[in-house]
A and B are shown apart, each in its own frame.
Chain A
């Protein structure tokens, strides 16, 4: 087998695994979310299908596949069908540069053939432009929502889509700006390098060194993926279900899937950028290879749980409050923080600067 073929096969296998992990995590999340919310609200949640209701996502999936399709009158048919596809494709594309571990070395086993003993990096592709690629792809994610909202020919979806897209790019700006300090400290766009810069104990994680940026990231990413308290686009009390009101069957499922995959992406990205990625919280604890993947998984799942917890706890913002908060608090704060970080780096040299910034 030629070198190119081998690498292509490795890439394809990695993509297949990630794809299935994402799908599995998505269906698991729909169940976990309902159970956890129910627990927080003294209800039971889905508990009939299988033990503890764990087969609920499967049942939902089968049901949605067999549901009839529906295209509202006066809708723009092609855009209406394309919208879920665009959403889900951009959601899956964004995960490409997010690493989930350092690298593993395949065992020297004979059944692996030419793959034996090879070092495989645990990332689909390590682009030179790393985080910027994610910034670009999330920017494209707005189109799915605009298309869905506009094509449905329904006033609620139109308003939901507009609100959602306006919210997305308002917070996208602060989201993007919150990374700048980290890029400065790491001197690289590659997420691998950013994670490597946080090696050596939890006090070196960017969540502490860049604490204000971390807060901005948490708020902005929650808004970016339309989660409570920022789920204004689908405020049931005002807008039915926002931009996906008119969607049924698998088209609805695809839109829903795109939202959850985006949530998983921002959790994984936040883990990498701020929570040290696959680094163990204390030096000396093993975190190479599969152990790193385990650390990474624990962190991502905790962040996902945090999202559900938020939903069970906080009330929804009002739309004007949301826009005010995004533009008048987050954006200026992010800009000022960038200049503070830069000033600290410029006038004290890199090492003490990180400490000084951390002390702030």
Chain B
């Protein structure tokens, strides 16, 4: 598995090649980026089969700087959790880059988009596979900066406003994370995550420890837009171009926020419900607040993408409830929700593109009076919405099972009921669009456009087929292993350092 650096190297390479080569022929940028995302997808699927051969963790030492006996070199660690994230990132980035081929006809600066897009993919992949704390920060910033730029890509009034607000809040998070890293370094004098874990395991958990945790939590909660740190998200996600909204909502907040946080608190700091129940209760309560409040706000939204953005906040709440319950089932639920939500919400945001192009607006009220019929997009949207609301047999149903099961097993019966009942709210606000925009019988039918249609079909196929094979294949081979990686805590450090 020594191709591991390719996950970041390939998109970075693409990002540097594209400005040069697109001078020759602008369409070349499409080809390069699509080839790269396809390669990444192939690599990540290949890793799915390859990783079990290498055991639970594969460690790649950059520049052959051995991490033993002194962990000085920078490493990439690739365990099952990283595998899950890489797989999700590359599935969705594949779909989005495919989609963007036709979508970008609306915009002028093709190659700029592709450069930023690949930078973001590189950053996200880097976050998922890195084993070094500072590298984590760097990758977060790479993806974040490119996302700031991409949100402002349309250069309209609202785009710039959203981007500015997003940047300020996002960078505060970034700085907080940097501060926390500085503190960690001050405390441990190492940046290797496994080594940090070992060091913290030996020490008692004083106020400084908790201060670091709070800073990290603060930073990553902003990144993952949990209530009350969500304010940037509805603006940014609703103003970005459709594929970028899909990427941001589908994977960005999860990789940069949820993944990084859970990697740190579970694997590095070794927190679990036994030694830090108040911490997890905090996550749980914020998660529930997110679910409820963002759900109700989404119900009243009048803008297609803004509604979906609020829905994302609500769904992140579900993920955090899963993390907050912190038992095997709930974390399985949270991780599978990351998977399901990435595909589902990505699909929903992608449908916004052709709709906006056809109707010239995303205002639901205007769309409901739009004269043409968009049955294909309507069906795609509805399937995605049903999956997100947790209706079988789609993929989104299984996270719900595991989250509720986790709540029951965690003796949090009220949480189980809340999770169940508020998925009704999810259904209600998502179907609001189906009902108002797509439920028409008369009018001229809008024709689908080629690469957009293919990406839709790809995602719908995934949602459906993964839903069918969830319990038989996906759960035992991918998600429960990833859950084990999370739940086993500082076992991660031992596995990394044994190499």
A and B together in one complex: no
Q: Which chain B residues have a beta carbon within 8 Å of chain A's beta carbons?
A: none
Residues on A facing B (Cβ under 8 Å): none
